[in-house]
Structure 1
Amino acid sequence: MADPAYRRKISRQLNKGESLHALKRDLLYAHEGTIRARHLEQQTEQAWCLTLVTNAVVTFTTGYYGLAVESMRRTGRRIDEEVLAHISPAHSENIDFFGAIDVDIEGDIEGDLAQLGPTGYRPLRVSDTLV
């Protein structure tokens, strides 16, 4: 515990774990972050659903982080791999928990696909926050 570099490494890992727990709490907002099912089987189902949704959010965010880093590098920005090692995609700022999701099975799929960029993702919202 006397090694400062080791303490920083452990602290970063704890912070990443805490951000993942915070994301799960945010995703489970309807029950105020608690599992309220009475039977073990129902509790297990709820936990697995939470895990599935959490993994989907982290995967989605990771994909867009990759696109953002690639876009920034194309514009000439230098992004250190050491800095990227400390970024965690476990956050919920990009999620609208109170919005409605409309699924139109018979809708205009071609129109929806036309809104996607050449990468197959929605275009990045670029704001020049880094100087």
Structure 2
Amino acid sequence: MARHRLHPERIVQNWNDMLRVAGSLKLGTVTASRLIRTLQRDGRPTTLGKAIGEYGRIYKTIYLLNYLNDPGYRRRILTQLNRGESRHSLARAVCYGKRGELHQRYKEGQEDQLGALGFVVNAIVLWNTRYMSAALQNLRVQGQMMDLTDIKRLSPVGHDHINMVGRYSFTLPEEIAHGDLRPLNRGSADSF
């Protein structure tokens, strides 16, 4: 399945230099960008660069073999990918006016946009988490049986219930100002 064979002799011959590179990075005596320039000449890897590449292939091979051999591992990776994509989907929905693109030309402006986007996304996740917790508690009080695997699959990044382009009121109702939650939606079981 693999396209390349490992060349362990490159690793053995350059092992001491590889340790020096790792130590330099760890201690901060060399920057990553300078190291990358050092590991290449005219766009081609140096001998040390090739050795580091060979060392990386060991871990890449182990990862691929684990991925192919273990269905549970594949499911965990897919779950993480789905979680990441769900978060990106929420961020795109929040930043709908510019299709999720940053349009500030300067770094500080982009940082401000990203900070505001992260703040709103985190607020939505917090809001959803509090209400999901309240809904679960309400079901427990009613004596509903809940499957733990179903609860584990709940995600606070859903946003279909949020009107992103509606009117917004920033005056808090009295009960919310005192720390209470809004009444839970008592929709039918089909609405879940």
TM-score (normalizing by structure 1): 0.84
Q: 2:137 & 2:179 partners in 1: Cα distance?
A: 12
- The residue identity in structure 2 corresponding to 1:126 is R
Alignment-derived partner of residue 20 in structure 1: 87
In structure 2, C-alpha distance between the alignment counterparts of 1:81 and 1:36, rounded to whole Å: 43
1:69 aligns with 2:127: no
- Give the Cα separation in 2 of the matches to 1:42 and 1:30: 17
Alignment match, 1:120: 180
Aligned CA-pair RMSD: 2.1
> Is the counterpart of residue 4 in structure 1 residue 71 in structure 2?
yes
What is the CA-CA distance between 1:119 and the residue it aligns to? 7.2
SS for the counterpart of 1:16 is helix
Listed as ranges, the gaps of 5+ residues in structure 2 are: 1-66
Runs of 4+ that moved beyond 3 A = none
- Report % sequence identity: 32
Query: Do the aligned residues in 2 keep the contact of 1:12 with 1:86 (CA within 8 Å)?
Result: no
Where do 5+ consecutive residues of structure 1 fail to align?
A: none
Higher relative contact order (Cα pairs below 8 Å, separated by 6+ residues): 1
State whether residues 37 and 43 of structure 1, in contact with CA within 8 Å, keep that contact through their aligned partners in structure 2.
yes
Instruction: Provide the aligned length of Structure 1 versus Structure 2.
Output: 123
- Distance in structure 2 (CA, Å) of the matches to 1:129 and 1:91: 18
Matched, 1:46 2:106: no
Give the counterpart letter for 2:180 in structure 1. Answer: G
1:93 to 149, 157, 160: 160
1:100 to partner: Cα distance: 1.2
- Does structure 1 residue 59 correspond to structure 2 residue 126? yes
Give 2:42's aligned residue.
Answer: none
Q: Tell me how far 1:103 sits from its aligned partner.
A: 3.6
Deviations 1:45-78 (A, max 9, x none): 1001100100000000000000111111111111
Matching of residue 35 in structure 1 with residue 102 in structure 2: yes
Largest Rg, 1 or 2 = 2
Higher helix share: 2
Task: Provide the TM-score with structure 2 as the length reference.
Answer: 0.59
Separation in 2, partners of 1:6, 1:29: 34
